[in-house]
């Protein structure tokens, strides 16, 4: 099996996907898709198989992701190896990466320097420069989407999750999407934007890699968005005291310039002294960075789901207040109509691997090899005070690992569907609907992303 060329028969038909692959483990599950660790029966090679239920409203999103993945082949991008189609499902055969997520690797190192961060960012820049040259904007770059190819100490970095990516038509886009804290000012301002939004996100990632906390943090989303739109961030003492002033900080300032016209392009960034390895310091910053990463990016999946629920409730209250106070709106400016969209399913092997969901094995699939419907997820009964997880102060910041889309016109429409969040699973294209009470089931819906 190999990556399909543009002029080949890129989509294969199957009546039973189990005849092609042996299903080993569940890597993730969502409202209408599952990702499995599989082995190709003919070769024994492992892959990540994304199984997506067909539905008219979702097909456009799915086809956009497929179109993007088929155009790219880069050593630092998780690749699409093959595509199968049945009467009810699409099956995306993805390259399997097993090295784990970026933050996990940093915490496991024991020693960590600016040079290490510089090497990571250089690989990301190489991949994003390739995407931009091919007319593709990722639009959702963040640490969670940066994976290590293998467990080897010198493993390369891989960019994943192209669910929000976009092929440029004329270089300008207008549909606002991304993840809180990583979106560029022009996106939040609901202005037309370009591939420069990816460079902003890389600047934010660089900031986090050097201190362990995000550059923007506030008690409310209004203040948070205001800071982002003003590019208002600081290099706080003592966290930045041992970080190079004229090298790393200069790089970040150029990547996070408020005006996208003055922001570094990927080509400019790749020529910066801090990136090419001339000035990045070798001083160990592991202790300060690892402590902050553990405080600010805890991997509690039910808390992430709960954060999404709180965010939806809060945004709905904002929209209601916005509708009831037109005079105040005129004074303060428009408030974006915000939808919280969860992360897309992972292509990487979680640590440690999780067995098939109880009661589900390859033989439980439908007769044609497709997947049964999922249930819903129930949140733990001992959830914390919602305010402590919604844009809290830096020391207790809980990262919202969910994507945002901002509707430019009209109000969001939610089409309810059950969803399941198992272990390290990330859901594909879903919207957490609000629930009252900590132990209530979280239902999800679908919204379109252009």
Tell me the backbone φ, ψ of residue 284, rounded to 5 degrees.
-70, 120
* Per-position DSSP letters for 351-412, written without gaps between them: SS--PPPTT--GGGS-TTS-PPPP--EE--TTPPPGGGGSS--GGG-----EEEEEESSS--
| Cβ–Cβ under 8 Å, residues 415 and 372 | no
Pick from 131, 149, 150: nearest CA to 141: 131
Kindly state the tokens that stand for 230: 């003003």
Other C-beta atoms closer than 10 Å to the C-beta of 353 total 14
| Cβ–Cβ under 8 Å, residues 326 and 303 | no
The rounded distance, in Å, linking the Cα atoms of 406 and 423 is 28
| Cβ–Cβ under 8 Å, residues 199 and 259 | no
The answer to whether the annotation marks 433 as part of a ligand binding site is no
Catalytic residue among 140, 161, 198, 337: 140
The rounded distance, in Å, linking the Cα atoms of 133 and 212 is 31
Known catalytic membership, residue 169: no
| Cβ–Cβ under 8 Å, residues 224 and 180 | yes
Q: Binding site for ATP, residues?
A: 54
Residues with catalytic function:
140
């Amino acid at each position: 099996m190999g990556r399909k060329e543009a002029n080949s028969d890129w989509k294969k038909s199957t009546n039973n996907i189990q005849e092609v692959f042996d299903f080993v483990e569940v890597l993730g599950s969502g409202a209408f898709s599952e990702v499995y660790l599989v082995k190709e029966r003919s070769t024994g090679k492992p892959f990540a198989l994304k199984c997506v239920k067909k539905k008219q409203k979702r097909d456009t999103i799915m086809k956009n992701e497929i179109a993007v993945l088929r155009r790219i082949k880069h050593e630092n991008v998780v690749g699409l190896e093959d595509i199968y189609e049945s009467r009810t499902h699409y099956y995306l055969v993805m390259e399997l990466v097993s090295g784990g997520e970026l933050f996990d690797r940093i915490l496991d190192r024991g020693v960590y320097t600016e040079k290490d961060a510089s090497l990571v960012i250089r690989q990301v820049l190489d991949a994003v420069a390739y995407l931009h040259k091919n007319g593709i904007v990722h639009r959702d770059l963040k640490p969670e989407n940066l994976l290590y190819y293998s467990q080897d100490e010198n493993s390369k970095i891989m960019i994943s999750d192209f669910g929000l990516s976009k092929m440029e038509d004329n270089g300008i886009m207008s549909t606002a999407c991304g993840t809180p804290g990583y979106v560029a000012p022009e996106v939040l301002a609901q202005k037309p934007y370009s591939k420069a939004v990816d460079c902003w996100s890389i600047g934010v990632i660089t900031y986090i890699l050097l201190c362990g906390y995000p550059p923007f943090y506030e008690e409310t989303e209004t203040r948070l968005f205001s800071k982002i739109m003003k590019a208002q961030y600081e290099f706080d003492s003592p966290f930045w005291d041992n970080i190079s002033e004229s090298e790393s900080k200069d790089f970040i300032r150029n990547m996070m310039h408020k005006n996208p016209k003055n922001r570094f392009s990927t080509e400019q960034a790749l020529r910066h002294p801090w990136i090419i390895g001339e000035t990045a310091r070798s001083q160990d910053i592991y202790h300060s960075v690892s402590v902050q990463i553990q405080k600010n990016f805890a991997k509690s999946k039910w808390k992430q789901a709960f954060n999404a629920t709180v965010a939806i409730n809060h945004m709905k209250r904002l929209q209601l207040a916005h509708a009831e106070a037109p005079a105040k709106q005129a004074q303060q400016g428009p408030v974006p109509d915000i939808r919280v969209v969860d992360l897309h399913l992972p292509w990487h092997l979680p640590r440690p691997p999780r067995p098939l969901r109880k009661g589900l094995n390859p033989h439980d699939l439908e007769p044609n090899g497709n997947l049964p419907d999922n249930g819903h997820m129930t949140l733990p009964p001992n959830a914390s005070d919602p305010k402590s997880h919604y844009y809290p102060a830096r020391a207790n910041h809980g990262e919202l690992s969910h994507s945002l889309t901002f509707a430019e016109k009209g109000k969001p429409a939610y089409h309810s569907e059950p969803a399941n969040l198992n272990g390290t699973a990330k859901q594909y294209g879903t919207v957490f609907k609000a629930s009252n009470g900590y132990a209530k089931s979280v239902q999800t819906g679908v919204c379109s992303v252009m």
